[in-house]
Structure 1
Amino acid sequence: MNSQIISAIDVGTNSFHMVTASVDDNGLLNIISREKEIVRLGSSSGDMSYLQRDAIKRAVTTLRAFYKLAINENSQIRAVATSAVREAKNKDEFIDLIKRETGIELEVVSGIEEARLISLGVIHALPILAEKALIIDIGGGSTETIITEQGEMIHLQSNKLGAIRLTKKYFDGIPSNEISISKCKKFIKGEWAQTLDKIEGVGFTTTVGTSGTMTTLISMAYLRKNTELPTVLNGLTVKAKHVLKVIRDIKQASSPENIALLNGMDITRADIITAGALIVEVAIEELGIKNFVISNYSLREGVVFDTVEKTQNLEQYHQLTKLRYKTVTGLATKYGADMKHSEHIRKLCNKMFDQLEPIHGKGYYERELLESASYLHDVGFHISHDKHHKHSFYLIKNSIMTGFTNDEAELIANIARYHRKSHPNRSHGSYNMLSPKKQQIVWLLAGILRIAEGLDRRQIQNVEDVELTIEENKLKIKIIENGSETPDIEVWGADRRKAMLEEALNLEIIFE
């Protein structure tokens, strides 16, 4: 087990969290420190179209402090941004600003990936492997629901139902009343209807609440029967009927000032708790939930475990992690890709990438992107043979890529898009929106993929292997054939596609 120290940062809609921890040989999380700051990055009742200047300023200040604390621990930083950032039209400017001002690279995750990371944290916090566990995480911008069984995630869903989003829509600056509460609940039921139906269909035996809204409500319910909270909240269990009584008290209190006076209330959450509580109320009423148990681990702890797992798989096995492998091969199979051809392309790409490492200096991360693009480059055939590289780009970019961030999916889509035909140019909007660093990655990896594709031009795996040598300003690629047929067509195909890699490496490529 890698004992590296990781600082996982959750860039949420309401608050930013950072946990700095390591994972020991028994798979247990050793917490070094926790940090939390209320930032209120998102502030819209609908789609969070733009991050506002004052919120951005608070984000920069907080992340700059988090960065210094993480560096002080000599830890690896991994920062994940959720609802507010992924919906913002100015997210690219925000990401660039955060990198420039704080040194932190933000990963924007999809709602489904957010749900997966949350569940990864929860299954390490509670003994629920034998249960069919429903996990509910209510954030500022979205609500994630997950059902796990035997460690497998059998339901993952993210809905645009969050405490801040609903507060802005129904209770912004005014006390709640019967009319606004009724309208809000009606909206929740409509927005959540399909998800609730799916949850009922799958079924569950226990319900886990995690993150601010759920933890606050469960704690308040516990304090109705007890004088004080236990030191550790993880595993704390209450009856759903007691949570409903807390929600009743919140509705009756009406204003944030009165709500803040309720026993156990987190006063920093008093102005948004009504909206979050109504989401919980709908869940209890519609799903027949009987009990709730708190998980102290959620997204940020899930990020720590996910980072350790990825590092292990890459360093020990030098290949895609199990989850990512299942995602890309599942998507390739779904869209009818020739898996024998795809696997051979992956093999040739890896060979070239590894032998070129002294020149390009890239590592495991870029290798994973290349492997993924190798499996998925031809999925566009599902739509049409004509311009299939463009269709591949569309399908990859718009598919649910479990285990990948949105940014990684877009990089893979761009790499696959340039496996044939034209090189990137000014008219290609998606490529031009990438940072210069990411454009360089696309150019290099797509260049390798283009040559590999040429070397299996007839898709008969006629080229068994390649050996690369560099002499002066020339890259010589020796073709090792499998003996079935002379690979003249393959060499011809690769030679036609070599210009992109030549430019990326600033070397002339010669096939031998």
Structure 2
Amino acid sequence: MGSDALRVAAIDLGTNSFHMVVVEIDRVKGIIEIDRVKDMICIGRGSISSKMLDESAMLSGIAALRNFLVLAGQHGVKSEQVIAFATSAIREAKNRDVFIRRVREETGLKVRVISGKEEAEFIYYGVRNAVKLGNSFDLLFDIGGGSVEFVIANNKEVKLLESRKIGVARMHERFIGTDPVSAHEIKLLEQFYAAEMVSSLEKATLLGVRRGIASSGTAQNIARMIRSFEARESDVSLNNSVVTRREFQRLYKAVVPLGSVDRRRMTGLDEKRVDLILPGLILVDMIFRKFNLEEIVISDYALREGMVLNYLQRGFHPLSDNGGQPDIRRESVYELGFRCGWNREHSEHVAKLAMQFFDQLRLLHGLGPEYRELLEYAALLHNIGIFISNSSHHKHSQYIIMNGELRGFSPSETEIIGHVARYHRKSPPSEKHSPYNQLKPKYRNVVDVLSGILRLANGLERGHRQNIYAVSTAISDRVISVRLESHLEPDIEIWAADQLKSWLEMVLSRSIVIRPRSEHA
């Protein structure tokens, strides 16, 4: 850990589970996740109707927190940099002060009970750092055990922060008494959900909301079950993955009629959510239908990450957010680069040359600005595979990108970045390569163009000396002439680029001639 780095642990004492995330905050590297841990102790067990925390649940909670603090200490987190917030179940319990006092006496941890509106605000901070918000308003919702938070926001402002007492543990305790769940109980739940969502729905209708963004374990478990159900890869990151209405309906119809014994046998379903998944599925079904959404995006970040960002905003550390919207995609790319000990100067120089080629060849490749951005990120990350080994590092780069949990990117965007980085050297794209062959034809064409540009840019930075500072191209029917602006004689760069140019020549149906400016000729 560098001298400027700070490590913070954020603990969320939820109704179903206690979670902790440990992050390192560095002035250069940004925020990097070090570890995360969860313990589903169900502190709200039985307390939702009694308003009293159960003694055994309190003991389990204190034991979990003690373990969390040991782990945080092992990661170098100082005790004053552990923040802990309690939500719905503890917030409503009559004996909450007893529990919080016991936690303080037995672990030294100060727990702050937050309001439902504060919880919604922290969730918003977290989600906006994992999923890119646009100009249109989105419905953000977090399904907890005791409450569900609704946020309506875009990349400029927040229009709604609301917390409703319709969490899955609360709803299961209140409405579900039969196994399998009866049609009557489903109807009662739907009516209750509809009544609780009236104000959110009115605001969403007014603002033209079309997309949902879901955080929390329940939402992630639903997404994981859909992956299992659809026989898709289940071990890749869920962040920014999309659940369509059609996919969800298939899962809903298959799971809701089952009894608990049959649900327990389902792959992808967390065994501790066997009962709680029912009110979760019914709620998500209502959200899809009432808000007339076609898709819901999954966010890995929620309350805990929002707690860390709020901690920084309040001035505990000079890296505090200035209140503007973060560029989460770029931050995430740089974080991954730093985690892999990248050569930043080389990577940024290759990216700079790649951008010049992309812009100057636009009439030939016809790709839009969204792909320019992906090319830049692939160029920035093309060499990170050296972190594993120099041999076949292009393949290692692809693996790290695909599994590095980049924030703010859809799965297809991550795939494109990974493939473009994969083909920056050695053999070009080939249908013999199974992952490439499985891409949609439209994305294969994108990878073909972007990898061709990256190969050329990478060749022109072969000596890792940032010698070529600008390129200019002239396009004719048969030839692309490239002129180089360089600090020194660019012999090694021209030699390397000539070896790598053939793929782009084939993709753009032009030969490429590379020459230095006349003073170096």
- TM-score, length of structure 2 as denominator length: 0.58
In structure 1, what is the Cα distance between the partners aligned to 2:249 and 2:26? 39
Instruction: Look up the match of 1:109.
Output: 114
| Within-5 A mapping of 1:274-353 | 274-311=278-315
Q: Distance in 2 between matches of 1:186 and 1:74?
A: 49
User: Aligned partner of 1:259: which letter?
Assistant: R
The corresponding residue for 1:207 is: 212
- Check conservation: 1:45, 1:166, Cα contact below 8 A: no
C-alpha separation in 2, matches of 1:223 and 1:131 = 31
- After superposition, the Cα gap between the structure-2 partners of 1:151 and 1:8, relative to the gap in structure 1 and judged at 3 Å, is farther
Can you list the C-alpha shifts for 1:113-157, whole angstroms capped at 9, x where unaligned? 101111111111122244422111100000011112124322111
Deviation per CA, 1:396-452, whole angstroms, max 9, x where unpaired? xxxxxxxxxxxxxxxxxxxxxxxxxxxxxxxxxxxxxxxxxxxxxxxxxxxxxxxxx
Distance in structure 1 (CA, Å) of the matches to 2:29 and 2:184: 50
Distance 1:20 1:83 in 2: 23
Match of 2:241 among 236, 244, 248: 236
Runs (4+) off by over 4 Å:
44-48, 320-323
Aligned mates of 2:289, 2:47 — CA distance in 1: 24
Corresponding residue number in structure 2 for 1:52: 54
Residue 227 (1) aligns with residue 232 (2):
yes
Matched, 1:82 2:87: yes
Distance (whole Å) between structure 2 residues aligned to residue 118 and residue 179 of structure 1: 33
Q: Establish whether residue 11 from structure 1 lines up as the match of residue 8 from structure 2.
A: no
How far, CA to CA, are the matches of 1:220 and 1:129 in structure 2? Answer: 28
Please list every run of 5 or more consecutive structure 2 residues that lacks an aligned counterpart in the other structure. 325-521
Matched, 1:273 2:277: yes
TM-score of the pair, normalised by structure 1? 0.59
Report what 2:161 is aligned to: 156
- 1:271 positional shift: 1.4
Give the deviation of 1:229 after TM superposition.
Answer: 1.7
Query: Contact 2:210–2:293 (CA<8 Å) still a contact in 1?
Result: no
String of CA shifts for 1:243-283, please: whole Å, max 9, x gaps.
Answer: 12212222111x22211222321222111110111111111
User: 2: CA distance between counterparts of 1:61 and 1:203?
Assistant: 46
Task: Tell me, in whole angstroms, the C-alpha distance in 1 between the residues paired with 2:315 and 2:305.
Answer: 16
Aligned length, in residue pairs: 319
Runs of 5+ in structure 1 lacking a partner? 324-512
> 1:373 corresponds to which residue?
none
Offset of residue 28 of structure 1: 4.1
Contact residue 86 and residue 111 of structure 2 kept, 8 A: yes
Matching residue of 1:168: 173
SS of the equivalent of 2:280 reads helix
Q: Secondary structure at the match of 2:11?
A: strand
SS in 1 for 2:238: coil
Please say if residues 168 and 276 of structure 2, whose CA atoms lie closer than 8 Å, have aligned partners that are also in contact: yes
| 1:346-368 per-position Cα deviation (integer Å, ceiling 9, x unaligned) | xxxxxxxxxxxxxxxxxxxxxxx
- Equivalent-residue separation in structure 1 for 2:22 and 2:105 (angstroms): 22
Secondary structure of residue in 1 paired with 2:76: coil
Identity of aligned residues (%): 30
Supply the distance in 1 between the matched residues of 2:35 and 2:51 (Cα, whole angstroms).
33
Q: Secondary structure at the match of 1:252?
A: coil
Asked if the contact 2:39/2:64 (under 8 Å) is kept, the reply is yes
Deviations 1:79-102 (A, max 9, x none): 010001111111111111110111
- SS of 1:5's partner is strand
Whole-angstrom CA distance in 2 between matches of 1:261 and 1:87: 34
CA contact (8 A) 1:145 1:155 kept: yes
* Aligned partners of 2:47 and 2:54 also within 8 Å: no
- 8 Å CA contact 1:134–1:147 kept in 2: the answer is yes
Kindly provide the amino acid, as one letter, of the partner of residue 64 in structure 1: R
Provide the C-alpha distance between the structure 1 equivalents of 2:205 and 2:132, rounded to a whole number of angstroms.
23
Query: Residues of 2 paired with 1:186 and 1:92: CA distance?
Result: 34
Residue type at the aligned position of 1:109? I
Query: 1:175: how far off?
Result: 3.0
Query: C-alpha distance in 1, partners of 2:196/2:223?
Result: 24
SS in 2 for 1:185: helix
Take 1:154 and 1:217, find their aligned partners in 2: how far apart are those partners? 27
